[in-house]
Amino acid sequence: MSEPRSRGKTARAGKPAPSSLSPVAAEASPPPGKDAFDIDEVFRLLRRATAPLPKAAMFDLRDRGYGSPFEQLVSALISARTRDETTIPVCLRLFAAARTPETMAALPEEEIVRLLYGATFPEPKARDIRALSASIAASGAVPDTAEGLMALRGVGPKIAALTLGVGFNKPAISVDIHVHRIVNRWGYVAAKTPERTMEALAPILPERYWIEINERLVPFGKFVCTGERPRCGTCLLLRQCRQVGVTVPSRGA
Ligand code: SF4
């Protein structure tokens, strides 16, 4: 997944977007071979497309029973720049030793480093995990706002968004590189950075999809709408997607 502070943003509220930010909304009629863009239909198709794929790490851990705000916060921190395939077993190993702020803060730092074996940056992550655990243990609760979460050591916008969304079930859009790339290819937004994509999504994406968009587009982006040579030829979303910027031959065509 992405780094703690710069690859994702938290969206909690928005104002109406300029129509130029949503090319599909500005269309008089769909282009030849395409259907009118319908975000509900897109999510129906996404659920089908991602059903057989490995889940994104945070959602996988939630479904295994590690969905508390504290566990999601720690998992999101571990997942920064670490592959999902590594994040999941590392989190399971760590949570076998400690699942609460109090027990985590009581672990020696070198023990947390040992338990983080395989994740990127185990030493700084162990320091962050121990420090935020002590802070939460002292305050009595995981903060339930983006601002409160980002006041904790090592927590940036994307970690905050994942914690709010998956841990607290509060509407928050987490825009990583997959979400950014795919919604721009759809033509749903036209934005050059994940930060701009988050700003463009907030006013047009129905709130019921704010958490789910990350859950669906992380596996969809890893296995279907990949960065290089997306599998447009077999993609369920082909009639909805405007394929903006897709110029290379697709795999699986
Ligand atoms: S049609 Fe191609 S560009 Fe569009 S979502 Fe599918 S794989 Fe991605």
- Whether 42 and 116 map to the same domain: the answer is no
Atom of ligand 1 nearest to the CA of 243: 3
- Final residue of a domain: which of 118, 141, 168? 168
Out of 177, 223, 224, 243, give the residue to mutate to test ligand 1, the one with the largest number of ligand atoms within 8 Å of its CB.
243
Mean pLDDT per 10-residue segment, the chain (253 residues) = 39 45 90 97 98 96 97 96 94 98 98 97 98 97 97 92 95 93 98 92 96 96 96 97 86 51
C-alpha of residue 241 to centroid of ligand 1, in Å: 6
Asked if residue 50 and residue 62 are part of one domain, the reply reads no
Query: Is 128 among the domain residues?
Result: yes
Say if CB 98 and CB 106 are below 8 A apart.
yes
DSSP states along 43-99 = HHHHHHHHTTSPPPHHHHHHHTT--SHHHHHHHHHHHTTS-HHHHHHHHHHHHHH--
Into how many domains does the chain fold?
2
Q: What is the CATH number of the domain that holds 212?
A: 1.10.1670.10
Last residue in a domain, options 148, 168, 188: 168
Residue 4: its pLDDT value, please?
Answer: 35
22 alpha carbon – ligand 1 mean position (Å): 17
State whether 39 and 25 are in the same domain: yes
38 and 90 both lie in a single domain? no
Residue 33 within a domain: yes
CA dihedral 98→89→151→112, nearest 10 degrees, is: 50
- What's the CA-to-centroid distance between 147 and ligand 1, angstroms? 35
In the reported structure, the alpha carbon of residue 221 is separated from the centroid of ligand 1 by a whole-number distance in angstroms of 9
Residue 168: closest CA among 76, 95, 67: 67
Test site for ligand 1: of 241, 244, 247, 251, most ligand atoms within 8 A of the Cβ: 241
User: Which residues, judged by CB distance below 6 Å to any ligand atom, belong to the binding site of ligand 1?
Assistant: 182, 185, 224-225, 230-232, 235, 237-238, 241, 243, 246
Alpha carbon distances (Å) from 153 to 94, 100, 105, 200, 223:
19, 17, 13, 28, 33
Contact between residue 219 and residue 54 where contact means Cβ atoms under 8 Å apart: yes
Count the neighbouring beta carbons within 10 Å of the beta carbon of residue 227: 10
Q: Among the atoms of ligand 1, which is closest to the Cα of residue 224? A: 7
CA distances from residue 92 to 64, 179, 231, 238 in whole angstroms, order as listed:
10, 26, 33, 37
Residues 103 and 78 in one domain: yes
The number of the ligand 1 atom at minimal distance from the alpha carbon of 242 is 4
The residue type at 130: R
* CATH code: domain of residue 89: 1.10.340.30
pLDDT of residue 157: 86
Taking the model in full, what pTM does it have?
Answer: 0.86
Q: In terms of domains, do 112 and 213 share one?
A: no
Closest protein CA for atom 8 of ligand 1: 225
Is the residue at 249 inside a domain? no
In a domain? residue 247:
no
92 and 118 assigned to the same domain: yes
Residue that the structure tokens 């904790």 belong to: 152
Tell me the C-alpha distance between 4 and 184, whole Å. Answer: 23
Task: Give the pLDDT confidence score for residue 195 in this predicted structure.
Answer: 86
Q: Which atom of ligand 1 is nearest to the CA of 237?
A: 6
CA–centroid distance, residue 236 to ligand 1 (Å): 8
The last residue of one of the domains, among 168, 187, 222, is 168
Residue 131's domain spans which residues? Answer: 57-168
Can you give the pLDDT at residue 1? 44
Backbone angles phi, psi at 174, to 5 degrees: -105, 115
102 φψ region: left (φ > 0), alpha (ψ -120 to 50), beta (else)? alpha
